[in-house]
Chains A and B, each alone.
Chain A
Amino acid sequence: MAEGMTGLVHKYLRHEKKFPHIWCPGCGNGIVLGSLIRAIDRLGLDKDKVALVSGIGCSGRMTTYADFNTLHTPHGRALTYATGLKLAREDLTVIVIMGDGDATAIGGNHYIHAARRNVDMTAIIVNNQVYGMTGGQYSPTTPYGARTTTTPYGMVEHAFDISALAVAADASYVARCTVYHAALLDQLIEAAIRKRGFSSVEVLSNCHTQFGRRNKMASPVKMLEWFKENAVRMHATSKMKPEELEGKFIIGVLADSERPSYNEEYERVRERATGNGNVPKPPARCEG
């Protein structure tokens, strides 16, 4: 196992001058990057044909370390750059790494529309429930009541459910996991990349430095135990009452459907524009 891991590190991480990385010891970002690399390796993707796009924050630095075509965009905008990349060059496998602030605060609108539009790409949201890099301010996913540097008296806003947002926007594939469940995470990321259309994998991750320390979980182990004890597999939720699910993290595949990706739809537009395709009928008028 250890040798296999080392081999993957050498194969997929950049060798030149980019280490040591900036993440705190025990940070969940490493687990997510590990899972991503294992998934890409299992899929047998050509490194030259993978584009890894990130936003701003600790998770955003993942692109610096991984040896693909990497793009580190302004805060919240990763999905918009990724959309341009994928539409201009369809042979690229486009994977987007964002944090919770990236995807649901400053980039929330982009996230909703990327899901709706169904461009063929994968979004991985590292949800550590806090702005870690800037010093531990609250994010749209900080739990109610939690202490952060900008909620010194407790969080009074209610948290966004990132994955529910993606399901509502009709993303083709939506999954949630935690960094404690690394083996499951490998599988979910692999399935998400394989998926045609927009796929979203939310990963609950630990920021013991900025979040845990202020919320009685001042070590990676304590935070991973929190994930372990409160995670519920999707298939187990049907037997549970809503009150039993209070404060739990539902993990696994939350939505999985088939519909043509934007790329496929646009290919039809090109055919119609050159006179080779059928123009679709307008939507049927409501009767009565």
Chain B
Amino acid sequence: MSGWSKEGKVQLLQGNEALAEGALAAGCRFFAGYPITPASEIAEHMALKLPAAGGTFIQMEDEIASMGAVIGASLAGVKAMTATSGPGFSLMQENIGFACMAETPCVIVDVMRGGPSTGLPTLASQGDVMQARWGTHGDHPVIVLAVSSVKDCFEIAVFAFNLAEKYRVPVIILSDEVVAHTRETFVAPPRDQIEIVDRVKPTVPPEWYRPYEDTGTGVPPMAAFGDGYRHHVTGLTHDERGFPTQRSDEIDALMRRLFRKITQGFHEIQRVEGFMLEDAEVAVIAYGSVARSARRAVTEAREHGVRAGLLQLVTLFPFPRRHVEKVLKMCRAVLVPELNIGQISREVKRVQRGTSRVETLNRIDGRLITPREISDCLIKMYY
């Protein structure tokens, strides 16, 4: 029994369920979480499906504990995930930093709701973008992906696990209340069409194993606890053997490798989707549920004779700079609509360097940005 189900069958799923199904398809066999709106259905679905798949679900005492258990399970060799929303995501930051430092693959889903603090538990927001990027302390690279549909939820969950395993990093998926609870028809792809990546394990004899050795890819092979490769894992800055160090040469080498392994993978980590961009003169750069409105808005604007296009960001970080630069160079003006006061728009402006005008459209009242609001902007920008 696979745990995930029904390949080829048409199902009506909500985003949260599809995300859980995607995780199961990717080989996730451990989930630890704490109830929170609007993410709870992911935990509920995992509680239902994991046991039969030979996996483990556990509801921990808080989100700190959930993230700790996820890292523990991953160190034992099992693909692991947690899901939460803003308040819980804040609590997880400490342990996410550990996963960065100890290079422990795992996936964290943040179904964004309005904030700060308890905020708007049942309304959508994109307010956690920068928390996903910089939430844990210290200098660190991070992979952040955004989902905008039920189909996305499934596919991006698989993509997230693959990246986590390949690069030995925590991968954060940003969903939001609207994507999480919207039901859409979904057909699970045949299993042999789903590419699944597993972490590289050491092949050397245990006495040769250096758990944080630099390699060509910058990603050291990872042994699971119990596999005979006894080693030390710590959140302290460590040498190649995993032991704490204060030697500047060892500190520098570790920190630079942590960044380098992500930089070297930009080509496959940075995923975007273009829509009607070929001849676009004005473009929208959007992600998450806003990208859905943007897609419709582009079609509507085209009906008014506006040469509009959409660059949908799937990968938010590492920021897909080259893709954004290309759009900035070819378009006169770019609109960045967001359900925050301007988080990704700042990144766009950071790479803009005078190439084109960048406009923003922000809603922070818990409501969605409508296609009409975006198309109105596009028409104004065009004429």
Q: Which of these, B54, B61, B73, B94, contacts A84 with CB under 8 Å?
A: B73
| Cα of A109 to Cα of B68 in the assembled complex, Å | 13
Q: Which residues of B contact A86 (CB under 8 A)?
A: 72
B1 at the interface (CB under 8 A from A): yes
> CB within 8 Å of A: which of B348-374?
none
Given contacts A64-B244, A88-B78, contact A48 B226 (CB under 8 A): yes
| Cα of A83 to Cα of B235 in the assembled complex, Å | 18
B196 at the interface (CB under 8 A from A): no
Q: Which residues of B contact A87 (CB under 8 A)?
A: 30, 56, 58, 69, 72-73
Q: Which residues of A contact B129 (CB under 8 A)?
A: none
Q: Are A17 and B243 neighbours in the complex by a CB distance under 8 Å?
A: yes
CB distance from B358 to the nearest CB of A (A): 39
Q: Which of these, A64, A80, A89, contacts B77 with CB under 8 Å?
A: A89
CB distance from B271 to the nearest CB of A (A): 29
Q: Are B61 and A109 neighbours in the complex by a CB distance under 8 Å?
A: yes
> CB within 8 Å of B: which of A78-117?
79-89, 91-92, 109-110, 112-113
The chain A residue sitting closest to B236, CB to CB, is: A72
Q: Which residues of B contact A49 (CB under 8 A)?
A: 226
| Cα of A47 to Cα of B230 in the assembled complex, Å | 8
A266 at the interface (CB under 8 A from B): yes
| Cα of A274 to Cα of B94 in the assembled complex, Å | 36
Q: Which residues of A contact B241 (CB under 8 A)?
A: 16
B276 at the interface (CB under 8 A from A): no
A67 at the interface (CB under 8 A from B): yes
> CB within 8 Å of A: which of B191-226?
224-226
Q: Are B52 and A81 neighbours in the complex by a CB distance under 8 Å?
A: no
CB distance from A197 to the nearest CB of B (A): 16
| Cα of A82 to Cα of B48 in the assembled complex, Å | 24
Q: Are A81 and B72 neighbours in the complex by a CB distance under 8 Å?
A: yes
Q: Which of these, A63, A85, A266, contacts B73 with CB under 8 Å?
A: A85
Main secondary structure of the interface of B (DSSP, over half): mixed
A269 at the interface (CB under 8 A from B): yes
The chain B residue sitting closest to A22, CB to CB, is: B244
Q: Which residues of A contact B4 (CB under 8 A)?
A: none
> CB within 8 Å of A: which of B26-84?
29-30, 32, 48, 51-52, 54, 56, 58, 60-62, 64-78, 80
Q: Are B75 and A92 neighbours in the complex by a CB distance under 8 Å?
A: no
Q: Which of these, B29, B48, B67, B243, contacts A18 with CB under 8 Å?
A: B243
Q: Are A110 and B61 neighbours in the complex by a CB distance under 8 Å?
A: yes
The chain B residue sitting closest to A51, CB to CB, is: B225
> CB within 8 Å of B: which of A16-69?
16-18, 47-49, 51, 53, 63-64, 67-69
| Cα of A86 to Cα of B231 in the assembled complex, Å | 17
The chain B residue sitting closest to A47, CB to CB, is: B230
B116 at the interface (CB under 8 A from A): no
CB distance from B94 to the nearest CB of A (A): 6
A235 at the interface (CB under 8 A from B): no
Q: Are A74 and B30 neighbours in the complex by a CB distance under 8 Å?
A: no
| Cα of A91 to Cα of B67 in the assembled complex, Å | 22
A273 at the interface (CB under 8 A from B): yes
CB distance from A216 to the nearest CB of B (A): 34
Q: Are B64 and A80 neighbours in the complex by a CB distance under 8 Å?
A: yes
A-B contact pairs, 20 of them (CB 8 A): A17-B243, A64-B234, A64-B244, A68-B230, A69-B225, A72-B234, A79-B68, A81-B69, A84-B69, A84-B74, A84-B75, A88-B56, A88-B73, A89-B225, A92-B225, A109-B62, A113-B65, A266-B51, A273-B48, A274-B1
A contacts, CB < 8 Å to B: 16-18, 47-49, 51, 53, 63-64, 67-74, 77, 79-89, 91-92, 109-110, 112-113, 266, 269-270, 272-274
